[in-house]
Amino acid sequence: MHLNPALVEMRVERFVRERLEPATYRRRVPLEVAAWVAPGEPVPFAEAAAAAYEPFAVGTAWGRPWGTTWFRLTGRAPEGFGGDGTRAEVVVDLGYSDVQPGFQAEATAYRPDGTVLKGLHPRNRYLPLAAVTGPDGAVEVLLEASSNPDVSGDGVFATPTRLGDPATAGTDPLYRFAGADLAELDVQVWELQQDVWTLRGLLAQLPEASTRRAEVLRALDDAVDAVDPWDVAGTASAGRAALAGVLAQPASASAHRVTAVGHAHIDSAWLWPTRETARKCARTFSNVLALMDEDPDLVFACSSAQQYAWVRDAQPDLFERIKKRVAEGRFVPVGGMWVESDTNMPGGEALARQFVVGKRFFAEELGVEPLDVWLPDSFGYTAALPQIAVAAGARWFLTQKPSWNEVNRMPHHTFAWEGVDGTRIFTHFPPADTYNSDLGGEDLARAERQFAEKGRARRSLLPFGYGDGGGGPTREMLAAAARTRSLEGSPVVELAGPHDFFRQAQAEYPDPPVWSGEIYLEFHRGTYTSQARTKRGNRRSEHLLREAELWAAAAAVQRGADYPHEALERLWRVVLLQQFHDILPGSSIAWVHREAEARYAEVAAELEELIGASLGVLAGDGEEAVAFNASPFARQDVAALGSGFPRPGAGARASASAGGFVLENERVRVVVDRDGLMSSVLDLAAGREVLAPGARGALLQLHRDTPTQWDAWDVDEHYRRHTTDLTAAESVELVEESAERVAVRVVRRFGDSRVEQVLSVAAGSAAVELSFDVDWHERQKLLKLAFPLDVHADRAASEIQFGHVLRPTHANTSWDAARFETCAHRWVHVGENGYGVAVANDSTYGHDTGRTTRPDGGTTTTVRLSLLRAPLFPDPDADQGRHVLRTSLLVGAGIPDAVREGYRLNLPLREVRGAGPVEPLLAVEGDGVVVEAVKLAEDRSGDVVVRFYEAHGGRARATVRPSFPAASVTETDLLERDVEQPRALREARPDAAVLELRPFQITTLRWRRA
Ligand SMILES: [Zn+2]
């Protein structure tokens, strides 16, 4: 047999391109087009529908960057249109490019009555004609078309562009309207296209020498023969008949089973602002509903309560239709979170609230509780997540992002993920390594090929549908699913929801392998640092929210004040939205980050007002200076969570010496040299020099920061090869000398930037505090702050949510080496037996800790903070301008001291004028049990809810005494629901509850008031 497979494949390819595709539609009748350009930001339908439309010629340019143009399409179908094996449609081409859907023009189609019909994008251009035809036969449809620019730069994602901000994006039109027609879809031709597409995808994956491959190839060759090139419509059925045999061959008994879940990963902001995401949701969700009407098997998984809330508020009719499909179990809310947040940086309480606020929305608005965590795209996963997720009622976790690792491959696809406290959650990584599948042969084969559990398990999940910018599944994908339900050589594809998958996967794999600890992403390490003002906004907001809830709860319970439920809920939702995995990580366009900064400023102003009002109520009328302490630790004689008269103490001294300046108190003696660097930090209690011999502390280091791939996302290993130590100082001088605090101010200039550093020592404190005011104008540079310490540390402890993780300071294995930049919250601690040092911060997340051996044989452990970057994409002006931040170096510190220092730096005492102190709402007796949140219950019952965790990594026992009359105390989950079996509450006495916590255990107590 003289078969030449390569030639047959070429023949089929050309046949599809030149014969099949042009034959998709038979008759086309142009529609009348009229247009109205919305002058500014998007307007509601009613306003647009009432506007004055001008006739618009097909072929005309339209759409300034970020603008909205409304098109009115009108016409009438000829007699008999859509008969004879065709389907009548409206087909619109807005002037699309080859860039993926979601990164260019898209539109929402409305009926004249304002109800949303469907979204339009480059791979989904049709509307069913019946849906836009009135009883009189007149066709009318309105399109709200977004002329979103392609910020990705043709999918390169690296070219600096000014398109990401409407102020700099220009006004020239981006698109040329290419057509709006009534068109007859030839059903047999379209079905033949789907047959050929699936078989060609399968063919490419089959072993070259296999019988199956030869048969599929022969069938495709036969199909081309069967179709008359000059009468495709008339012979498409013959082509299909030639393929029927190979399409009917069933899957093998051992075929891998793929649960295909309809999905659209819609980034809540990224290369577009949040207001565009709200419209992307309406377009995508309406597409999904339209497809569900056609295919009863389609199940669509959709995360992010925020996105449902946007649709509810902007398109109530669409939301009602979604609710019906939710009730049927076909439109499936997943994840349970407010947004698909970053999980490295959100604080403990904030990550808990992602679930509390998200699940509350799903329960109240949709009557469902998602049982999974759905985070396919976030940039690494904190070791605190299993416990938080399980405490919020989740049973399963899904992501695929670790497939992006630069170096190491995660060993499992289905496994139990064990968190820092030992909690385990059943976890699945879709082995196809995508959340945007088209259900083609390549993705399906990859799922089977890579599935690491083969031999013990046989099932994986595959999210399909256009994602990132939205769009979702298409009818072509559903056609592929139908053809691969049982197809020899292909995995078996089954349309179902994620919960079906997880139940089946768990049943077939009851004892999966375990991955313990964080799921570190070996990629995107710059996201702990990029857009530092966004980071600062997050950290400050989290602590202000803590203060606002605590003091409002105290004012309500102790003084009968109203608790500002609505304001707090609203402010939390703003902060939770900004934790989305392209906002807090700093990987969005300029528009998004300027908006985030503005929102954080509004949040801070409103929270300051709420805090001031509560403190005013609590302190009463008077002229005494009362200090309030929102931290979980007493400070300067002011009780934890309480108030009092602070006693700062005295004993800080400063002096000038030949080598520079000396700052000291009874705990620490610091020498700041003429370069403004610490040349000595003496721990007076331990009698020990903290800095490594010959090294200087508080050293700013400037690195070249030119990532290989993703600017805002990546700090690459090669950054360390180019370092400039910023040792030259413009001035070094003593400032603000008092008995309470002594300080040295250092001013440096480098490049186009200026930094003012204040190093200070306060009476009674073992911390050297450093505050920075930076005017930053570098490009593609990374600014680090280094503390080379004379400590032999094998590992560094970094604070995460509700605890800390230990990471090696060496690079023994490829896993250790790849972890060269890490995320920490308020502190990092390094130590050897009997001695340790902590480095704390008030708004920084990126850190690295390494060590070297000196000629004297000693070990230098260097802790560095990543203060600032300046990536060029997607925001070309990222991080330019002013930054203020604080850090501290705490000598002679154990983990408990580090925990305390983290709270101290982030929750300063607040002084108000009043009659006097009030008793704390509750007192906690016992080490290691830390109060993370005090609030009134979400259900507005007035119950007091308090979240605790064990912070040291050991066993802890504590007695908690509320100062208010309480009728009962119960242990609850994160959602404030009573648990059946208390795990931490040993004695449920309302006036003295006794808690026993395991290492890093979180627990929530709820007091019903008497
Ligand atoms: Zn994403």
The predicted-structure confidence for 554-592, as pLDDT tens digits, reads as follows 999 999 999 999 999 999 999 999 999 999 999 999 999
Whole-number Å distance between alpha carbons of 625 and 46: 56
**HSE toward the beta carbon, residue 37, CA cutoff 13 A:** 13
Whole-number Å distance between alpha carbons of 498 and 774: 48
The pLDDT, as a whole number, for residue 867 is 98
Reported as a single tens digit per residue, the pLDDT across 388-429 is 999 999 999 999 999 999 999 999 999 999 999 999 999 999
Determine the distance separating the centroid of ligand 1 and the alpha carbon of 465, expressed in angstroms.
14
Determine the distance separating the centroid of ligand 1 and the alpha carbon of 592, expressed in angstroms.
14
Determine the distance separating the centroid of ligand 1 and the alpha carbon of 128, expressed in angstroms.
31
Determine the distance separating the centroid of ligand 1 and the alpha carbon of 277, expressed in angstroms.
12
Beta-sheet pairing, 396-398 with 372-374: parallel
Residues contacting residue 862 through CB under 8 Å, at least 6 positions apart: 692, 786, 787, 788, 789, 849, 850, 851, 852
Determine the distance separating the centroid of ligand 1 and the alpha carbon of 579, expressed in angstroms.
12
Sheet of 179-186: strand order equals 25-30, 179-186, 86-93, 126-128
Determine the distance separating the centroid of ligand 1 and the alpha carbon of 472, expressed in angstroms.
14
Report long-range pairs for 653-658 (Cβ below 8 Å, ≥24 apart): 653/742, 654/734, 654/737, 654/742, 654/743, 654/744, 656/734
Q: Are 960 and 945 in contact (CB under 8 A)?
A: no
Task: Exactly one of 377, 438, 582, 879 is catalytic; name it.
Answer: 377
The pLDDT, as a whole number, for residue 959 is 98
Determine the distance separating the centroid of ligand 1 and the alpha carbon of 843, expressed in angstroms.
24
Determine the distance separating the centroid of ligand 1 and the alpha carbon of 708, expressed in angstroms.
20
Res. 841: pLDDT tops 80: yes
Q: Are 579 and 572 in contact (CB under 8 A)?
A: no
Where does residue 417 rank: exposed (0-12), middle (13-18), buried (19+ CB within 10 A)? buried
Residues contacting residue 900 through CB under 8 Å, at least 6 positions apart: 633
Q: Are 729 and 818 in contact (CB under 8 A)?
A: no
Determine the distance separating the centroid of ligand 1 and the alpha carbon of 256, expressed in angstroms.
28
Round the average pLDDT of the chain to a whole number and report it.
Answer: 97
Q: Are 842 and 906 in contact (CB under 8 A)?
A: yes
Q: Are 258 and 494 in contact (CB under 8 A)?
A: yes
Closest CA to 868 of 588, 533, 540: 533
Reported as a single tens digit per residue, the pLDDT across 275-322 is 999 999 999 999 999 999 999 999 999 999 999 999 999 999 999 999
Averaged pLDDT for residues 154-176 = 96
The pLDDT, as a whole number, for residue 165 is 97
The pLDDT, as a whole number, for residue 883 is 98
Determine the distance separating the centroid of ligand 1 and the alpha carbon of 606, expressed in angstroms.
30
Determine the distance separating the centroid of ligand 1 and the alpha carbon of 538, expressed in angstroms.
19
DSSP 939-997: TSS--EEEEEEE-SSS-EEEEEEESS-EEEEEEE-TTSPBPSS-SSEEE--TTSEEEEE
Backbone angles phi, psi at 153, to 5 degrees: 65, 60
Helix residue ranges per DSSP H, 469-531: 475-483, 498-508
Q: Are 387 and 420 in contact (CB under 8 A)?
A: yes
The pLDDT, as a whole number, for residue 765 is 95
DSSP 112-166: TTS-EEEEEBTTB-EEEGGGGB-TTSEEEEEEEEEE---TTTTTT--S--STTST
Residue 888: pLDDT band with limits 50, 70, 90? very high
The pLDDT, as a whole number, for residue 950 is 98
The pLDDT, as a whole number, for residue 1008 is 98
Helix residue ranges per DSSP H, 298-440: 305-314, 316-327, 348-361, 385-391
Determine the distance separating the centroid of ligand 1 and the alpha carbon of 258, expressed in angstroms.
23
Residues contacting residue 691 through CB under 8 Å, at least 6 positions apart: 678, 679, 680, 681, 697, 787, 788, 789, 790
Res. 3: pLDDT tops 80: no
- Block residue for tokens 């392209």: 582
Determine the distance separating the centroid of ligand 1 and the alpha carbon of 948, expressed in angstroms.
32
**Packing angle of the helix pair 187-203, 475-483 (nearest 10 deg):** 60
Whole-number Å distance between alpha carbons of 617 and 608: 14
Determine the distance separating the centroid of ligand 1 and the alpha carbon of 378, expressed in angstroms.
7
The pLDDT, as a whole number, for residue 870 is 98
Whole-number Å distance between alpha carbons of 687 and 683: 6
Whole-number Å distance between alpha carbons of 948 and 957: 12
Determine the distance separating the centroid of ligand 1 and the alpha carbon of 266, expressed in angstroms.
7
Res. 647: pLDDT tops 90: no
Determine the distance separating the centroid of ligand 1 and the alpha carbon of 500, expressed in angstroms.
24
Where does residue 59 rank: exposed (0-12), middle (13-18), buried (19+ CB within 10 A)? exposed
Averaged pLDDT for residues 740-746 = 97
Determine the distance separating the centroid of ligand 1 and the alpha carbon of 884, expressed in angstroms.
29
Percent of the chain with pLDDT over 90: 98
Determine the distance separating the centroid of ligand 1 and the alpha carbon of 582, expressed in angstroms.
7
Closest CA to 143 of 236, 218, 62: 62
SS3 track for 530-559: CCHHHHHHHHHHHHHHHHHHHHHHHHHHHH
Res. 2: pLDDT tops 80: no
Residue 978: pLDDT band with limits 50, 70, 90? very high
DSSP symbol at 415: E
DSSP 615-642: HHHHH-SS-EEEEE--SSS-BTTBPTTS
What predicted TM-score, i.e. pTM, was given to this entire model? 0.98
- Block residue for tokens 């509004």: 602
Determine the distance separating the centroid of ligand 1 and the alpha carbon of 467, expressed in angstroms.
8
The pLDDT, as a whole number, for residue 681 is 98
Q: Which residues of 917-956 are buried (b: 16+ CB within 10 A; e: fewer)?
A: bbebbbbbeeebbbbbbbbbbbeeeebbbbbbbbbbbeeb
Determine the distance separating the centroid of ligand 1 and the alpha carbon of 425, expressed in angstroms.
22
Residue 150 known to be catalytic: no
Averaged pLDDT for residues 752-781 = 97
* Residue 689 CB neighbours (<10 A): 15
Whole-number Å distance between alpha carbons of 328 and 509: 28
Whole-number Å distance between alpha carbons of 771 and 537: 17
Whole-number Å distance between alpha carbons of 585 and 306: 18
Res. 659: pLDDT tops 90: no
Percent of the chain with pLDDT over 70: 100
Q: Would you state the structure tokens that stand for residue 413, as one six-digit string?
A: 């696809």
Q: Are 414 and 501 in contact (CB under 8 A)?
A: no
Determine the distance separating the centroid of ligand 1 and the alpha carbon of 53, expressed in angstroms.
37
In angstroms, the Cα distances linking 776 to 129, 534, 759, 822, 909 are 57, 15, 20, 23, 30
Whole-number Å distance between alpha carbons of 15 and 556: 75
The pLDDT, as a whole number, for residue 556 is 98
Reported as a single tens digit per residue, the pLDDT across 500-550 is 999 999 999 999 999 999 999 999 999 999 999 999 999 999 999 999 999
In angstroms, the Cα distances linking 160 to 549, 593, 712, 779 are 42, 16, 11, 12
Count of residues in the chain: 1010
Whole-number Å distance between alpha carbons of 585 and 142: 37
Sheet of 781-789: strand order equals 723-726, 699-704, 781-789, 859-868, 846-853, 822-823
In angstroms, the Cα distances linking 732 to 742, 744, 752 are 14, 7, 20
Q: Would you state the structure tokens that stand for residue 40, as one six-digit string?
A: 């500014």
In angstroms, the Cα distances linking 304 to 346, 738, 877 are 16, 52, 29
Residue 265: pLDDT band with limits 50, 70, 90? very high
Whole-number Å distance between alpha carbons of 918 and 980: 35
Rg over alpha carbons for the chain, rounded to the nearest Å, is: 31
Closest CA to 764 of 689, 842, 668: 668
Q: Would you state the structure tokens that stand for residue 495, as one six-digit string?
A: 């349309």
Residue 1: pLDDT band with limits 50, 70, 90? low
